[in-house]
Amino acid sequence: MAEQIDHYLVQQPITETIEQNYMPYAMSVIVSRAIPEIDGFKPSHRKLLFMMYRMGLLNGPRTKSANVVGQTMKLNPHGDQAIYETLVRLSRGNGALLHPYVDSKGNFGRQYSRDMHYAAARYTEVRLDRICSELFRGLDKNSVDFVDNYDNTLKEPVLLPTTFPSILVNNNQGIAVGMASNICSFNLSEVCQAAIAYIQDPAADLMDAMPAPDFSTGAELIYNAEEMDRIYRTGRGSVTLRAVYRIDKKNSVIEILEIPYTTTAEAIIDEVTGLVKQGKIKEITDIRDETDLNGLKIAFEFRRTADPEALMQKLFRFTSLQSNFACNFNVLINGTPRVLGVRGLLGEWLSWRRSCVRREIAYDIEQKQQKLHLLRGLEQILLDIDRAIRIIRQSDRESDVVPNLMQGFQIDEIQAEHVADIRLKYLNRQYILQRTADIQSLIEEIADLQNMLENRERVDNFICDILRQVAQRYGAERKTRLIHEQEVAVFDDEELIEDFRLRLFLTEHGYLKKLALTSLRSAGELKTKEEDQIVQDIEGKNKMDVLFFSNQGNCYKMKCFDIEDHKPSDLGAYTPNLLNLEEDERILFIHVTEDYSGQILIGYENGKFSKMMMNVYETKTNRRKLVNAFSVSSPAVGLFFLDGEDDFTAVSNINKGLVFSSQQVPLKTTRSNQGVQVMLSKKGSVLVSVKRLSESNIEEDQYYRCKKLPAAGKYLKESTLVNRQLDLNGL
């Protein structure tokens, strides 16, 4: 049995399997479904519009959408729902297209709404919009090729002979296999002007006539000349869109009236609601969706103390009220997907349009030549009408009439058929003279058409004339307004962050707690872990830098607003996790600053002290960690910030104390300096405590001062140790 199974199994390289089984599917999706062609349509769009044209919906009354969907299924083998969704997107009611192709009646949803669903096909009515006459002009003149539909019962056009570059006029998005297409829309009048400029001069600056995309949802486009030039050249890039808003200061309301094409009202409301819940935006008190039949409107109520312009800048930064449209002008050209810039698309469209016009001209020439040929036969009859009547009357059989006329007047069968079909009352000299009088004008028209067919300049002039007519009939004002980058207020992240006074608390076990002063006033006892205590607390602002000095000589930097806000009952952030400290590394000292002014004084176990300017820790880049922030040749005992000279008390482990002024410690310029000797070692003693004199319990400080440094200090008086019942750390 196993041998029989093995007999039917054939090993095949995976590359061959993919090529034989997957590639046909991939190519079908690319060529027959997802990527638009040079006429601006995917197959599903083209089949739908063509069937509506066949149904007489270009000039006729509206019909039920269900009727259109049913008829389109003769060309489109997909389900009715997929066809109706295509119809919805092409409709005026949905608003997805800058220049809709379907004149609709009923509820077709809205492009800017995610939850506003369209009505069923049996409830809505449609017909072709007037602009569709430009899609089908020349279709009945053999301007394009026709192919059989999927069951060979109908013919459908391969492409539509659009008289304007529709590929650029309306949005078109498609996701194929291994590639995608995302074409933005441009204003119809501007596209026609750009096309005319290109026809007249292929090197013309298209951005003069067509500066930027135009979207059906309006909004504002932040104009970047370099990025726009890249899109026009390569077909790739992105444009930035932002919402249009109005501020009602009287009622403290911001009204959003237009939003970017790439988002929806519901998505914006969800994003803003999430920011409010997370506490990132505290100025908004209420959000309402006031969209109605008059159009989109989202209302944000804000606190009277808030700055609405600054609030909008926050919303632009953190929500899709400002978003990008990624351009990818991937189009099928003769069955091959190609990414082209605007100039390339206009060039391919012009080549296609010239082909359509030439085929129309050739069709007109053929029709006029046929008419001329028939009139030549009538002209022969004019020579002897009586003879023609006699030949017809004397013919024995009906089938003999045409041969006898051919023989009697030396005309061909087509001419004879035409003469034989003329009604008896028209066989008079007046009728024939009137008809044959057109012979000379037909000859001139045919010659003119032949000249036009052979003259590309005349063909281009004809195309330009049609473009001017299209722009005049169907053109509209821009919906998307352009704003140059220089006109846009630029706010960095810090400007969008609320600034407030705060207090930072560092505990002995390495916890950092951040509390706003407003919450600190009403707070009770600050919570810490058991056997833990607060060793340092400093006041600052939310936008200040925080410097963390560790026992391994490193300085860590971050913004106060990067530290999570805490409640008095919270333990705080664990600094080893917050700063990614090394093993056995702990924070000795923290400092907040916004201008890096002042000095830092560091005392070491070996009795040396180092004094440096704080600006040695200032960096141009946002470096998170500075190594060698201070010397580690001897362990650091105390670190202090100096905004002026101050007196300090140093105590050794043998109860010797020394009072000195920071002014006696020379200023060093390098972070890694080892300092200068201040307290001399006595019997191998080491420095164990350094405090500001104002914070220590030393009395009679003059007793502990020495005229010269370094000095060994003096033994602490018994009254300091006993009467005050303090240990060395309390000094």
Report, as residue numbers or ranges, the catalytic residues: 123
- The two tokens of residue 728 are 């060395």
* Axis-axis angle for helices 308-318, 265-278 (nearest 10): 110
Rounded CA-CA distance 431/356 in Å is 37
| 336 contacts 319 by C-beta, under 8 angstroms | no
Q: Are 662 and 648 in contact (CB under 8 A)?
A: yes
Instruction: Classify strands 180-183 and 172-175 as parallel, antiparallel or unpaired.
Output: antiparallel
8 Å CB contact between 685 and 711 = no
Question: Which helix H or strand E contains 294, and what residues bound it?
Answer: none
Could you tell me whether strands 501-507 and 511-516 are parallel, antiparallel, or unpaired per DSSP bridges?
antiparallel
Instruction: Output the DSSP codes for 237-252.
Output: EEEEEE-EEEEETTTT
Detail the DSSP E strand segments found in 46-124: 63-64, 102-105
Place of tokens 């009586």: 386
DSSP 150: T
Phi, psi of 637 (to 5 degrees): -100, -35
Q: What is d(CA 710, CA 36) in angstroms, rounded to the nearest whole number? A: 85
CA pair distance 176, 277, nearest whole angstrom: 39
What is the C-alpha radius of gyration for the chain, rounded to an integer number of angstroms? 43
From CA 31, how far away is CA 37, in angstroms rounded?
9
Token digits for 407? 């023989």
Q: What gap in Å lies between CA 267 and CA 319, rounded to an integer?
A: 9
CA–CA gap between residue 327 and residue 335 (Å, rounded):
21
- Coil, helix or strand at residue 472: helix
Q: In b/e form, how buried is each residue of 65-82, taking b as 16+ CB within 10 angstroms?
A: bbbbbebbebbbeeeeee
End-to-end CA distance of the chain: 94
Show the tokens assigned to 611: 């004094």
Lay out the sheet containing 587-593: strands in order across.
587-593, 545-550, 555-559, 625-626
Contact 681, 607 (CB under 8 A): yes
Q: For residues 134 and 541, give the distance between their C-alpha atoms in angstroms, rounded to a whole number.
A: 64
What are the CA-CA distances from residue 447 to residues 214, 315, 365, 366, 454 (Å)?
43, 66, 9, 12, 11
Q: Which amino acid is at 580?
A: N
With contact defined as beta carbons under 8 Å apart, do 210 and 472 qualify? Answer: no
Alpha helices in 260-400 (DSSP H): 265-278, 308-318, 342-382, 385-394
Let me know: does 542 contact 561? Beta carbons within 8 Å: yes
Q: Collapse the DSSP code of 203 into the 3-class scheme (helix H, G, I; strand E, B; otherwise coil) and give the result.
A: coil
Q: Any idea which residue has 């026709």 for tokens?
A: 146
Ordered alpha helix ranges (H), 56-130: 65-72, 80-90
Angle of helix 401-409 relative to helix 342-382, nearest 10 degrees? 80
